[in-house]
Amino acid sequence: MKKQAGNFAPGHQIIGRWKKRPYIILGKLGSGACGTVYKCRSTRGETYALKIGTDSSRLMLEVNMLKKFSKVQGEKLGPSFVDVDDYRIPEGPQLPFYVMEYIEGKPLPQFLAGKPKEWIGLCAAQLLGDIAKLHKAGYVFGDLKTDNLLVSGSLVRLIDVGGVTAAGRAIKEYTEFYDRGYWGMGSRKAEPSYDLFAITMIMLETAGAGRFEKGGSPKKTLEQKLSAVPLLNPYRTVIQNAWKGKYRDAGEMQKDLSGVLLYKAPAPTRVHFRADKRSSSDAGERTAIALFSVLLMGGSLVPFFL
């Protein structure tokens, strides 16, 4: 029978066997094949995320990946690494765990709800910029999905590195809906185009299509879903190009997305005093979108100022 990681209630204290650093469990954040993640607090009052599991080698791979992320983060690509140790459950097994930055934020679908269509492109463009840095470092994110994305401080953040794979190898972890192999749109080889396909599926999902089955003709299903989502009309060509493998890297796709945003965003106009508050707000949002698009085209990524 496979060992199970402990199910710790709020208030439980985990003390590292080797470094003796205590962490107080505040609540459970989620669980998966590799372990369970908890929100915790250190004795100094700092809030972190703690992942504990049963497979030491698998967790060490994730620790090494977090450390690599710190070298390519730049714009805070993923959570920062904090600590790693073992914990012996009283009268139970010894379990490996690691501690990382706790990212407070909104799930991407929740953040985008009710926002204009430009925001889907903006978030995708920023994500492409961050993913490009990972690709240049020789890695592919792999398990790229909305569950692994949070919007924190107006930036899209990646929160799980479990699927990150060295370029050229077979993708080690994936979720079917975002996996191009599942849709018959390519292999599961770790290369930039694998992540680009996943980003198009994130755009489909957050624009209103949700997650859906592939049906008897997967490619036809994708085209039908794309046509049925009005919010994605401006980005249709970019998405189709990604499906056809026309982009060599994330930078090319980001450039095309930014071009769409620049073309669609109206030039800033003078706001008349008679305009109502909503008109002023819309004008400000369009101006911010136009400015952000210009910065993207110049290769600089900045926070969303709305």
Q: Which residues are catalytic?
A: 143
What b/e readout covers 106-132, taking b as 16+ CB neighbours within 10 angstroms? eebbebbeeeebbbbbbbbbbbbbbbb
Count CB atoms within 10 A of the CB of residue 152: 15
Map residue 36 onto helix, strand or coil. strand
Largest CA distance in the chain: 73
Q: Please, are residues 39 and 29 in contact by the beta-carbon 8 Å criterion? A: yes
Q: Which of 88, 87, 107, 106 shows the shortest CA–CA distance to 97?
A: 87
Helical axes 118-136 vs 56-72, angle rounded to 10° = 100
The 10 Å Cβ neighbour count of residue 213 is 9
**Within 13 Å and on the Cβ side, how many CA atoms surround 76?**
17
Calpha distance 180→243 (Å, rounded): 9
Distance CA 237, CA 122 (A): 16
- In this structure, are strands 22-32 and 35-42 parallel, antiparallel, or unpaired? antiparallel
Q: Does the CA dihedral 253-153-206-210 come out positive or negative? A: positive
Q: Cβ(261)–Cβ(293) under 8 Å?
A: yes
Q: Is 174 exposed, middle or buried (0-12, 13-18, 19+ CB in 10 A)?
A: buried
